[in-house]
Amino acid sequence: MINKIIASALPYMPEKLLWIFSKKYIAGKSIFDVIKVTKKLNDEGSLVTLDLLGEYVNTLDEAEVYKNNYAEIIKQAEIASIKANYSLKPTMFGLLLNPEICYQNVREIVKIANSYNNFIRIDMEGSECTHEEIILFTKLKKEFPDNVGLVFQAYLKRTYNDILNLMDFKNRHSDLNFRICKGIYIEPETIAYKKKIDINRNFEYILNYLFRNDIYAAIATHDKRLINSAIAMIEKYNVPLNRYEFQMLYGVSPELRRMLVKNGYKMRVYVPFGDNWFNYSTRRLKENPSIVYHIIKSLFVKN
């Protein structure tokens, strides 16, 4: 309850104050800020996926600006020789305004990533986007089989079937690379599991399927129980190191992250950055007020 009250008050706080809360989770505003953070993470043994903040644009002009910004970011990141790939949210490129233009925008970005032999992960957004984001992925995958991946959310009841429907790519000898996470958006009970125990069970069920079918798995969680269960599966199936990685959000559970790196697991940190940090922070906080607890704690407890 208190978290909810604080979360709803956060958008009215001055930007400078909100930045104090947010900076632990956001690398900065510019590409140069994020390159600095990435180099530090690389030195610690972690890879990175860069995420320019912004989503749900209102006009296609905005989408065009974001496309150009992304293209520039990739060029700068490649010049800096950091160990990073890229994540993006299709609603930033106009998915809900015009899926065809969104496809053209994202295609240009994937093409640039492809020219550097790099990889774009399509984040999964709210359920109003799921169908279109899978279609976007399949179109891109046909042209750039090695340079594009998708995210699946364990809280969605449809996820297992969505993955089964994509097995055709695998059968045609194209590798599949999926990130599996719990899911962050508020979804109705008709389509989404609500209880942690059910979400975790589905997470494990899907991960088990990915391993058994030799699909590259990006295991995105800070949940120790799920991480242990993933490690048990990796050992059971003898999954080679080059067929999976763990992923965590920048600023979340850094000790657990370092422990996994120390134990030899491949780790990738999702690092958001950009001018849009204010909207991103307030939206995330409203969606999930329990994060407020972690943010406030982070003000007092040094990691």
Report the residue number, 109 or 181, with the smaller CB distance to ligand FDA. Answer: 181
Alpha helices in 185-223 (DSSP H): 196-212
The answer to whether 54 contacts ligand FDA (rule: CB under 6 A) is: no
Name 110's Cβ contacts closer than 8 Å, sequence gap at least 6: 120, 140, 143, 144, 147, 148
Least separation in angstroms between CB 202 and ligand FDA: 12
Binding residue for ligand FDA, selected from 105, 153, 276, 282, defined by CB under 6 A:
153
Report the residue number, 235 or 255, with the smaller CB distance to ligand FDA. Answer: 255
The answer to whether 57 contacts ligand FDA (rule: CB under 6 A) is: no
| Cα 168 to chain centroid, rounded | 24
Query: Within 229-288, which residues bind ligand FDA (CB under 6 A)?
Result: 247-249, 252-253, 270
Taking a C-beta distance cutoff of 8 angstroms, is the pair 281, 249 a contact? no
CA distance 246 to 223: 11
Report the residue number, 207 or 249, with the smaller CB distance to ligand FDA. Answer: 249
Taking a C-beta distance cutoff of 8 angstroms, is the pair 20, 32 a contact? no
Q: Interface mask (CB under 6 A) for ligand FDA, residues 191-220, using x and -? A: -----------------------------x
CA distance 220 to 132: 22
The answer to whether 37 contacts ligand FDA (rule: CB under 6 A) is: no
Least separation in angstroms between CB 61 and ligand FDA: 25
* Footprint of ligand FDA (CB under 6 A): 123-124, 151, 153, 181-185, 220-223, 247-249, 252-253, 270, 291, 294
